[in-house]
A and B are shown apart, each in its own frame.
Chain A
Amino acid sequence: MKYILMMNTMKAGHGVPAWPKKDLQAHIAFMMGLNKELHQRGELVSAEGLSFPDQAKLVRAGKDGRPITDGVFPESKEFLAGFWIVDVDSPERAYAIAAQISAAPGPGGAPLNMPIELRPVMSAPPQEML
C-alpha cells in the first residue's frame, strides 16, 4: 500500500532556515540516511524537496484558457516543503517512517518534532469513474 508523507511549513517564509551550518548538515545527513534506508528496504517510491514558497504560484485559467498566475499568499498558508511516497506493508509502518521524519534533528541536534501529514495514495481512479 502506498502512502504520501507530507512535510508542511506553516509560513510563507523563504530561504534556508538560519541554523548553524553544522545543524543544517546534520539535518540533511539524517534525511539522506533515511532515504537510503527506505530505498534499501524497497519502500521508497520517491522523495522530493520543493523550492521555497516565494517561488510558488497559484494558477487559474482565464476565459480564453490562458493561465492567470498569482504569487501572493497569506502568511498563514501552509506550504508543502517536501514529500515522500512509500510503498509499505501496513499503515503502522508508514506511521513509523513519518515518526522518524518528524524526529529529524534541528538546531542543536534537538528533534524538530515536525507534524507529518500522511495520506493513502490511490493506485488508480476508482473504476466507476473511468
Chain B
Amino acid sequence: MKYILLMSGTRAGVAGYHAWSKHDIDAHMAVLHRINQDLTASGEFVATQGLADPGEAKVVRGEKNGMPVTDGIFPESKEFLLGYWIVDVANAERAYAIAAQICTAPGPGGKPTNMPIEVRQFATHASKSQ
C-alpha cells in the first residue's frame, strides 16, 4: 500500500528554519538522510522531495481561452507543503511509524521538531502512475 507523508508549515515557520544554526541544520538533515537510507534498505522507499521556498509558489487557474492566470500572493497563515515522502508499506501502522520517525528529527538545540506529518493513502482505484 502506498502512502504519502506530507510535511507542511507556514511561511513564518520557513523563515524560522532559515535562522537555525548550521550545526542544527546539519543534525536535522543527517537524521532525514538516515531515514531515507533505512527506507531504501527495507524496500519501502518510493520517493522524497523537498519543495522550493513558498515565495516561489503560484496558484494557477485556466481562463476561458485556456491561458494560465497566475497568482502569487498568499496569506501568511496559509500552510505550505515543505516536502514529502512516498512509501510502499505493508500496513497503515508502518506508515504512521515512519511519520513518527520524521516527526522526531532534531531541530534547534537537538530537540525534536515535533512537526505534524499528514499521512494519506494513494487512491488505488485511479492511480495514474506511468
Q: Which residues of A contact B (CB under 8 A)?
A: 4-6, 28, 31-32, 35, 39, 44, 46-51, 55-62, 65-70, 78, 80, 82, 85, 92, 95-96, 98-103, 111, 113-122, 125, 128-130
- Let me know if B49 and A59 touch, CB within 8 A: no
A63 to B73, CA, bound (A): 38
**Band of interface residues on B:** 35 or more
Query: Which chain B residues border A125 with CB–CB below 8 Å?
Result: 29, 50
Query: Which chain A residues border B121 with CB–CB below 8 Å?
Result: 50-51, 55
Q: Can you offer 6 A-B residue contacts whose CB atoms are under 8 A?
A: A31-B128, A50-B120, A59-B5, A67-B103, A85-B49, A99-B69
Query: Which chain A residues border B58 with CB–CB below 8 Å?
Result: 95, 98, 117-118
Q: Nearest residue in A to B129 (C-beta to C-beta)?
A: A46
- Let me know if A119 and B51 touch, CB within 8 A: yes
- Let me know if A100 and B103 touch, CB within 8 A: no
Query: Which chain B residues border A92 with CB–CB below 8 Å?
Result: 68
Q: Nearest residue in B to A116 (C-beta to C-beta)?
A: B60
Instruction: A47-B129, A50-B123, A119-B52 are known; give 13 further A-B pairs, CB within 8 A.
Output: A35-B128, A47-B128, A48-B127, A50-B4, A50-B120, A57-B119, A59-B5, A59-B103, A67-B97, A98-B62, A98-B68, A99-B60, A111-B62
- Let me know if B96 and A59 touch, CB within 8 A: yes
Q: Does B76 contact A (CB under 8 A)?
A: no
Q: Which of B88-110 contact A (CB under 8 A)?
A: 92-93, 96-97, 99-101, 103-104
Query: Which chain A residues border B80 with CB–CB below 8 Å?
Result: 119
- Let me know if B4 and A121 touch, CB within 8 A: no
Given contacts A78-B79, A121-B49, A125-B29, contact A69 B96 (CB under 8 A): yes
Q: Nearest residue in B to A104 (C-beta to C-beta)?
A: B62
A116 to B114, CA, bound (A): 29
